[in-house]
């Protein structure tokens, strides 16, 4: 089912599609619109059946040649969606997505069947750091064993590698193949490559995507792609928890 803009909620109220398995919403949506629509979904859609959900806001931030201010999308705006525990494919596109590490953890716990996840901030703002860090990926490693593709903006400048004894999941994540970090800031390519090969050893370096618009940052992400195969070689035996042959 595909619906557009602010009429989307009314469409759900009229149709009451309790057997819906896929829903695509697109239009000029503000964060409050997405919050309202999420509430409609929780009320009128069967929470056990929905597997695919996409919401894409085409909100134009330019007005009269000037950039207008828009409230960012936060966890409270999509809180009602966390009830849909069978979601496997989720795409959320908004001009400014602000989800912290704790928010990502809530999402990962709520959607354990995820295979594809996209949190896409459509406005590139290099001056402002993302509020979630690279460490937030550990929540997906722990709670989403089937996750194959992930697109998320993270702050990769400060990495806190957890002590082995405090890592709650028993072995490295073996499903993730593709990671799109978009314009994520990065400080050390070596540290990021070490983190990714330790916890996501099956990530394909050719499917580690970035487009920072900053030559120095892009060079660091390129170094990550180059180092992943080298570090994996060294981790064949010693990787945390072991790596399936």
Q: Among residues of the chain, what percentage have pLDDT more than 90?
A: 58
User: Residues 86, 10: one domain?
Assistant: yes
**pLDDT the model gives residue 45:** 82
- For residues 74 and 106, state if they share a domain: no
Q: Are residues 134 and 242 in the same domain?
A: yes
**103/220 same-domain check:** yes
pTM: 0.87
In this prediction, residue 137 carries a pLDDT of: 96
Is residue 26 pLDDT above 80, yes or no? yes
HSE at residue 119, side-chain half, CA atoms within 13 A, is 25
Structurally, the chain folds into a number of domains equal to 2
- pLDDT band for position 27 (50/70/90)? confident
> Is residue 121 domain-resident?
no
Q: Are residues 84 and 196 in the same domain?
A: no
In a domain, 122, yes or no: no
Residues 218 and 104 in one domain: yes
Whether 104 and 86 map to the same domain: the answer is no
Q: Is residue 54 part of a domain?
A: yes
Report if residue 3 sits inside a domain: yes
Decide if pLDDT at 95 tops 70.
yes
Judgement on whether residues 73 and 107 belong to the same structural domain of the protein: no
Report if residue 88 sits inside a domain: yes
The 10s digit of each residue's pLDDT in 168-194 is 666 789 999 999 999 999 999 999 999
| Structural domain boundaries enclosing 221 | 99-114+129-245
Q: What is the pLDDT of residue 148?
A: 99
The average pLDDT across 83-94 equals 96
Specify whether 60 is located in the same domain as 104.
no
What average pLDDT does range 106-113 have in this prediction?
Answer: 98
Q: Are residues 158 and 228 in the same domain?
A: yes
């Amino acid at each position: 089912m595909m619906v557009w803009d602010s009429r989307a909620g009314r469409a759900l109220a009229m149709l009451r599609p309790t057997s819906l398995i896929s829903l695509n919403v697109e239009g000029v949506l503000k964060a409050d619109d997405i919050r309202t629509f999420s509430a409609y979904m929780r009320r009128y859609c069967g929470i056990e059946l929905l597997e695919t959900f996409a919401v894409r806001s085409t909100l134009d931030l330019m007005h009269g040649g000037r950039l207008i201010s828009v409230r960012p999308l936060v966890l409270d705006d999509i809180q009602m969606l966390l009830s849909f525990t069978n979601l496997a494919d989720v795409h959320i596109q908004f001009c400014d997505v602000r989800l912290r590490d704790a928010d990502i953890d809530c999402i990962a716990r709520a959607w354990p069947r995820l295979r594809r996840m996209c949190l896409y901030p459509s406005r590139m703002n290099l001056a402002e750091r993302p509020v979630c860090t690279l460490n937030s990926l550990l929540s997906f490693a722990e709670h989403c064993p089937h996750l194959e593709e992930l697109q998320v903006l993270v702050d990769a400048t400060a990495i806190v590698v957890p002590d082995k004894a405090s890592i709650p999941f028993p072995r490295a994540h073996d499903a993730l193949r593709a990671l799109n970090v978009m314009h994520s800031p990065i400080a050390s390519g070596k540290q990021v490559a070490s983190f990714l090969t330790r916890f996501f050893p099956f990530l394909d370096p050719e499917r580690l995507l970035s487009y920072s618009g900053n030559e120095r940052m892009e060079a660091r992400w390129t170094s990550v792609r180059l180092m992943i195969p080298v570090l994996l070689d060294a981790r064949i035996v010693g990787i945390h928890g072991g790596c399936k042959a």
